């Protein structure tokens, strides 16, 4: 049987100088990230496994927010429409990606790192060595363990930066609705319930005036029953107004 192997780079490879960067105000370079632990996430927004990985990366990002740990998304498109930076930016907004993303439209970064599937996670130590490489979702605990070991070892070796690199995300305009999911008309036709998905709430809108008459949910991610100002959702998507009751498909909470 013929088996083909891919020679993986031992050292991190520099990003192409002409790369387009999103979710950050200036490009990043591998040479400027020495002393930092770098987590590369090779993803594409049509891949459900990649989408499932985003909350894990957010968890890592929050846990190590005060440590020299940098997460970078490498968007290596699978289909032609996914090469468009505007489409990628929309996906970043929809899935609330909080870290910088470099657009790898022509797969140069993908090939230079020997990647073969989505999603693939790589961890680069403060010396620029690739110390972790794994494909597939469900890697949060592994990534966490690797980062913890590298932080301790690198401090002992004196090669760890004292603080995270400063990152500034471009400001975005405030919206009344943020990636709304579904809507449903009341039985009497006088109101519409709208899933304001990324604001984690349900809006009740008067059909005659178009004005918001009620807001259900306080806008904070969570799973909590209660009054309009106390209830909490996490990215609700579906809604159905049945007689006097409103049913909500609370997607990320896997709850109805």
What is the structure's pLDDT at 9? 59
Dist CA 225 CA 217 (whole Å):
9
What is the structure's pLDDT at 5? 40
Dist CA 216 CA 205 (whole Å):
11
Domains of the chain: 20-157 (3.40.30.10), 183-253 (no CATH)
What is the structure's pLDDT at 6? 44
pLDDT under 70: residue ranges of the chain = 1-9
What is the structure's pLDDT at 8? 54
Q: Note the pLDDT tens digit of each residue in 108-139.
A: 999 999 999 999 999 999 999 999 999 999 99
pTM of the model: 0.88
Instruction: Compute CA 166 distance to the chain's CA centroid, rounded to the nearest angstrom.
Output: 19
Dist CA 166 CA 148 (whole Å):
21
Dist CA 5 CA 186 (whole Å):
60
What is the structure's pLDDT at 4? 38
């Amino acid at each position: 049987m013929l088996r083909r192997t891919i020679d993986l780079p031992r050292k991190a490879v520099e990003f192409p100088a002409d790369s387009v960067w999103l979710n950050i105000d200036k490009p990043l370079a591998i040479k400027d990230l020495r002393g930092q632990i770098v987590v590369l996430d090779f993803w594409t927004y049509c891949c459900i496994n990649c989408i499932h990985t985003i909350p894990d990366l957010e968890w890592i990002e929050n846990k190590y927010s005060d440590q020299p740990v940098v997460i970078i998304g490498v968007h290596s498109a699978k289909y032609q429409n996914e090469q468009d930076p505007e489409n990628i930016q929309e996906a970043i907004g929809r899935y609330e990606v909080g870290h910088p993303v470099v657009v790898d439209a022509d797969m140069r970064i993908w090939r230079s790192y020997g990647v073969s599937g989505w999603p693939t996670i790589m961890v680069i130590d403060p010396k620029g060595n690739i110390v972790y490489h794994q494909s597939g979702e469900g890697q949060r605990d592994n990534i966490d363990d690797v980062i913890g070991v590298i932080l301790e070892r690198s401090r002992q070796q004196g090669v760890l930066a004292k603080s995270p690199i400063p990152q500034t995300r471009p400001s975005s305009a405030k919206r009344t609705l943020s990636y709304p999911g579904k809507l449903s008309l009341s039985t009497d036709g006088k109101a519409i319930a709208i899933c304001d998905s990324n604001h984690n709430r349900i809006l009740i809108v008067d059909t005659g005036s178009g004005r918001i008459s009620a807001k259900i949910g306080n806008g904070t991610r969570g799973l909590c029953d209660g009054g309009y100002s106390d209830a909490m959702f996490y990215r609700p998507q579906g809604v159905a107004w049945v007689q006097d009751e409103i049913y909500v498909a609370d997607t990320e909470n896997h709850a109805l």
